Amino acid sequence: MKKFSKKNNGFSHFELVLLVVVVAIIASVGFFVYNKNNNKSKADSIASNASQPVSCTVTGIVSSPSYGTEQSPVVVIYNKSGRAFSGELLVELQLNNNGNGDGARYNIKTGVIKNGLSKSLRLKSFNIPYADGTFANYGPLSTAVGVMYNDPLPPNKRSFSCSTKFTLPIKPEALITVYRYIYNTDPYGRTTWLLGTMGPDAKPASEYQLEKGKEFKAFSESVPDTKPVYYYTKYGTLSATYTLNTDEMAKCEKDNTCSKFDIKFYAYDKPAPGRIPVYAVKTDKYAYRGGYVLSNVIYTADGSEAYSYKNKGWTVTTAFWAQK
């Protein structure tokens, strides 16, 4: 039997054509897979960038500015959204009476901000007023410049905001010193502790004995976060009460057991940095002299004095907070 043999002289024409077709198919499949994966990578990158928000900060304002000084705020917009951003911002300057006044609220256009870049926009300048007590949403004597953007519709479909707080100065004449006196009026030795602003000039000197070192700072008019401190006495007693509690006063008026209420000064109704407590030190162990109940309440900003009375059985509560 004769073996079939063939010399390997290279590929035939048919074999070459077949090889080219196979390589082309492999290359086209590989290119499709590469492009598919590459496009997916790009799409993921865009989606990742799109999830990063447009944001902002407000700068250029002193945190505790002096009265009358000019402030020139600047808002900086940061765009990391994956595409160019442009829009219209709402700017609100909140000064005292909720910022009602010229230039308190206005719009400003950003122009085009390319992806990955930031842009600074100068806002309207303004002068610092004294705090007038009508706007205190941002805490004690504080107010703010706020910037807002909200677009719920495509293609932007995003919102962001930023603000900066600063503290308004108090009118110098609004801050007063409240003194404590021992008030003596008759030979029975009936004594009342009183609070007042007359200091050493209280008259007549024979009745008003100033207690040095017991004074504290309050306000002659309303400033942010303060409330009026009312003064009254109960009929048949020598106790002078100073309170922020309007419910307490309403009960007195209803029962007709108290004298007329007067606003003596303004103080804070809650603690915060820069404030000190003024304690009401009371006892229910009434003592009578000359047909009257002796004074059974003392007000003091001196914590050691307050708690020395507590050790004697008196109760100690915080009546209000004074300016430090």
Q: Give domain limits for the chain.
A: 55-167, 172-323
Give 23-67 pLDDT, tens digit per residue.
Answer: 344 344 443 343 444 443 333 333 333 345 899 999 999 988 888
Confidence of residue 295 (pLDDT cuts 50, 70, 90): low
Q: Is residue 18 classed as helix, strand or coil in its secondary structure?
A: helix
Own/partner long-range contacts of 65-68 (Cβ < 8 Å, ≥24 apart):
65/128, 65/166, 65/167, 65/169, 66/128, 66/169, 67/128, 67/129, 67/130, 67/169, 68/127, 68/128
Q: What's the pTM?
A: 0.56
CATH code assigned to 55-167: 2.60.40.10
pLDDT of residue 218: 94
Confidence of residue 161 (pLDDT cuts 50, 70, 90): very high
Q: How many residues does the chain have?
A: 324
Considering only residues 209 and 189, tell me which one the structure prediction assigns the higher pLDDT: 209
The answer on pLDDT for 274 being more than 70 is yes
pLDDT of residue 217: 93
Alpha helices in the chain (DSSP H): 13-50, 246-255, 303-310
Give 141-157 pLDDT, tens digit per residue.
Answer: 557 888 999 887 766 67
- Least-confidence region, from 12-16, 195-199, 303-307: 12-16
**Residue 103 identity (one-letter amino acid):** G
The answer on pLDDT for 70 being more than 90 is yes
Average pLDDT, the chain: 75
pLDDT of residue 95: 75
Confidence of residue 229 (pLDDT cuts 50, 70, 90): very high
Considering only residues 225 and 16, tell me which one the structure prediction assigns the higher pLDDT: 225
Q: What is the mean pLDDT of residues 289-312?
A: 80
> Residue 181 corresponds to which tokens in the numbers above?
């006196």
d(CA 162, CA 165): 10
Confidence of residue 265 (pLDDT cuts 50, 70, 90): very high
Considering only residues 195 and 59, tell me which one the structure prediction assigns the higher pLDDT: 59
d(CA 73, CA 62): 9
DSSP letter for each residue of 144-198: EEEEEEEE-STTT-EEEEEEEEEEPPPPGGGEEEEEEEEEE-STT--EEEEEES-
Considering only residues 174 and 109, tell me which one the structure prediction assigns the higher pLDDT: 109
Considering only residues 152 and 85, tell me which one the structure prediction assigns the higher pLDDT: 85
